[in-house]
Each structure stands twice: as structure tokens, then as C-alpha cells.
Amino acid sequence: MKVLLTRFLGFGAVPLISAVVPFLVLPVAARVDGPAGWAAIGTGQAIGSFVAMVGSYGWNTNGGARVSEAPSPEHQRAVYAQSLWCRLIAFAVAGSIGAVLSALLVGGAFAPVAALAALATGATGLTVTWYSVGTGSARLALWYEAVPFATLTLLSILVMLWTGSVAAYPIAMLLGVFIGLVMLNVHLYRSPWPPFSGADVRAAFRGNLALAAADGIGGSYTTAPVPVAQGLLGTQAAAELTSADKVYRIGLTAIVVLGNSLQKWVLERPFSDGRMRRHAVALALHALVGAIGFAVLTFLGVPLTEFLLGAAVTPAQEVFPAYGVAYFLISLSTPLIRNVLVPAGRDRVVLGAILASAAIGLPAMIIGGLQGGVLGIVIGLALSEVVVFSVVGFFAVRVLRAEARALR
């Protein structure tokens, strides 16, 4: 228990910084250029979140386990080098497309802001957090990701107030990501960039294809609400949904903290040595976090959003319970995917769940948006998470039962 608590504290520091910084930056970003500028940021960041999922190319899901299983620090650094080149290439392609799409969707004077927001958010797919989790060293993510990112992002407050333009926010985010990456490369390899192996990079693209497809398809529905609102309902609806989505995603940080803290603890022992009990503890804790998130979004969503971002861009109360349902289901699905299905090599199950959720959720958001406005879009998002949880829950139970029978 002491080891688990230490991991919570260590790996909780990075997401805590990531959660606190928006409370300082977003109130300025939401007001400095009005609803139109805020909608451009929201649309760009939503598409950028999809770019980040494509650009991460599955490493957020299986990278930590691969590093944890590496036989030496040299092998761990080799895995990271392979991942970074793979992700840089994926980001270059996806980021270019995402920036152009964001600019076209928003149009007008704020098109460049939307493009910058897409690139800045997409660059977060180059995160080092999973490598930090795999090595068991929280300080790597703290000093080479959280600190530079937070420092540059906080400085953007002064620039936004000085220039009166929200563009400083995504520019600072982008600089924070790449400065942190260069600092980590110097720490690991004594060079601004890691060693390159064409064979290793090609192997990474082949090996992570299924997970990358799952992340990309998953991103198509998890990041869709704001762009759908922009396309179907206009700037004001997109601005309101951007606000609700920000509060929701800040809350998702708690799920990330919990998942990162528990993954190595759950998997570091064999199934015969208490892993089933650890699975149960992980699921119970994720259920608790999910229930708290649901309650906060349902009952405090409106006052939190008004306080943080202003009444002019706050949606109706009815939107937040639907976000709460999505939050609860994501929290439950996380340990089933990361601790059960992926370690068991059931990547195709995860991909199948994501495919099914996208096939149902995306049309539901569009139909819901046309019929029920902003609420209809968020109900479509919640429906997507119902599908994911149903599929991964069914197959995770089968995997655990099979492992239990093998010990008899």
C-alpha cells in the first residue's frame, strides 16, 4: 500500500499541474477574443485532440508496458527513441491535415487561431508520461513535460492580455511541448534528438497499427462534439460546448492519474500472485472516481463553468449529466483496456469496441445535434461510451475467467 500511495503522489503531480494550469489560463482565453475566438480555440483543440490520438500511434496504450518489460535502461531508451520518431512522423502528417481542416471549418479572421490550436493540442500526442510510468520515474514527466508546458502556457496569459489576441495561447502550448522534448532527449541521449533506425521505426508502425487505428477511430467520436456543433449549430453553440467540454476534460485528469498510478502496480505481479485482487481494487477505485466525476458534472457543472469561463459561453444545465455518464463509463473502461485486454494481446477487441462506438456514436451526434441541439450531441457522445464499455467489459471478463481457470 505504501508503494501504491507513493506512485499516486509521484504520478499525480504531473496531471495535477496539467489540471491547475487551465484554471488560470482558460478564463483569459475564453474572454479575450469573445465567443468567436473561444469557439475557434475549442474547434481547433477538438480536432487537435484527434490529431494527438493519431500522432501518439498507440504508444500511450502499450508503451508503458513495453518500457516496464525492457531488460535494461539501454533497452528502455531504445524503445523511447523508436516511439518518438514514429510519433513525430505521424504527427507531421496528421497535424498538417488537422490544421487545414480546423482553419476551413472556422473560417474568417480566426482561421489561423483554429489551425494553431489544432497543432498545439495535436503535439500533446508526443507526451513522455507513458515512458515515465514504464520506468517508474515520475520526475521525467514532471521536469520534461509538465514544467516546461505549464511555464510557457502561464506566460501566455501575459501575452494575451498585452496583445488582446488568444493566438498566444496555442503558440505557447506548442513551444512548451517541443522544448520539453528536446530537454528530455538531451537528458537521455546527450543530443537534441534520439538515435534513428529506419528498421525500428518501420517495425513500430507495423506493430502498433491496430492500437493506432483504435486510437484514431476513438478520437473520431470523443473529439467530435465541438466540431459537430460548429458545423451544424454555429459559433455560439460551439463556444458553449467548448466550455462544457473543457470542464469535462479537466475532470478526466483524475482518471489519467489513477490509471497511470495503478497500471504497473496491477501488472508487476503474475496472475497467480494476487493479480486478480489487484484488478478488483483497480476497478473499484475507477468506479469511485467515475461516480464522483458524474456527481460533480451533474450538480456543479454550470456554476463551475460560469465561474471559470463566464456566463456568455456556459451551456444549459441539461448538458452536464450526459457528460457525467460518459465520464463514469470512461473511468470503468480504462482499467479493463489497459490492465486486462492490452496485456493479454487483445488489441483487436479494443479496436472492435472503438469501431462499434464510432459507427453508432458519430451518426447519433449528428442526428442528435439536428434534432436536439447541443444536448443531442452530448447524448451521442455518452452513447458511444456505453458501446465501448459493453464490449470491453464482456471480453475482459472472459480473459480474467480464462486466466483463473488456467491456475486450477
pLDDT tens digit string along 295-339?
Answer: 999 999 999 999 999 999 999 999 999 999 999 999 999 999 988
Do residues 157 and 124 both lie within one domain? yes
Domain of 292 in residue numbering reads as 229-408
- CB-based contact 179:146 (threshold 8 Å): no
Average pLDDT rounded to a whole number, residues 154-183: 96
- pLDDT, residue 408, reads 65
- Report if residue 223 sits inside a domain: no
Do residues 273 and 178 both lie within one domain? no
- CB-based contact 74:83 (threshold 8 Å): no
Do residues 142 and 237 both lie within one domain? no
Do residues 271 and 310 both lie within one domain? yes
Do residues 239 and 189 both lie within one domain? no
Do residues 137 and 248 both lie within one domain? no
Do residues 353 and 406 both lie within one domain? yes
- pLDDT, residue 13, reads 65
What cell does 351 get?
A: 479496436
- CB-based contact 375:367 (threshold 8 Å): no
Cα distances (angstroms) measured from residue 364 to each of 114, 123, 230, 374: 25, 29, 16, 12
Pick the last residue of a domain from 158, 173, 207: 207
- Report if residue 315 sits inside a domain: yes
CA dihedral angle for residue 32, residue 34, residue 38, residue 39, rounded to 10 degrees = -160
Average pLDDT rounded to a whole number, residues 48-74: 89
The C-alpha angle 324, 5, 331, rounded to 5 degrees, equals 20
- Report if residue 270 sits inside a domain: yes
- Report if residue 217 sits inside a domain: no
- Report if residue 86 sits inside a domain: yes
- The yes-or-no verdict on residue 19 having pLDDT over 70 is no
Do residues 286 and 178 both lie within one domain? no
- Report if residue 1 sits inside a domain: no
Average pLDDT rounded to a whole number, residues 26-38: 92
- Report if residue 9 sits inside a domain: no
Do residues 140 and 252 both lie within one domain? no
Do residues 65 and 136 both lie within one domain? yes
Q: Which has the higher per-residue pLDDT, 389 or 216?
A: 389
Do residues 297 and 189 both lie within one domain? no
Band of pLDDT at residue 70, cut at 50, 70 and 90? confident
- pLDDT, residue 286, reads 96
What is d(CA 281, CA 27) in angstroms, rounded to the nearest whole number? 37
Name 401's Cβ contacts closer than 8 Å, sequence gap at least 6. none
Q: Into how many domains does the chain fold?
A: 2
- Report if residue 150 sits inside a domain: yes
- pLDDT, residue 114, reads 96
Do residues 253 and 389 both lie within one domain? yes
Pick the last residue of a domain from 150, 175, 207: 207
Mind listing the pLDDT tens digit for each residue in 249-294? Answer: 889 988 988 887 787 778 776 666 678 888 889 999 999 999 999 9
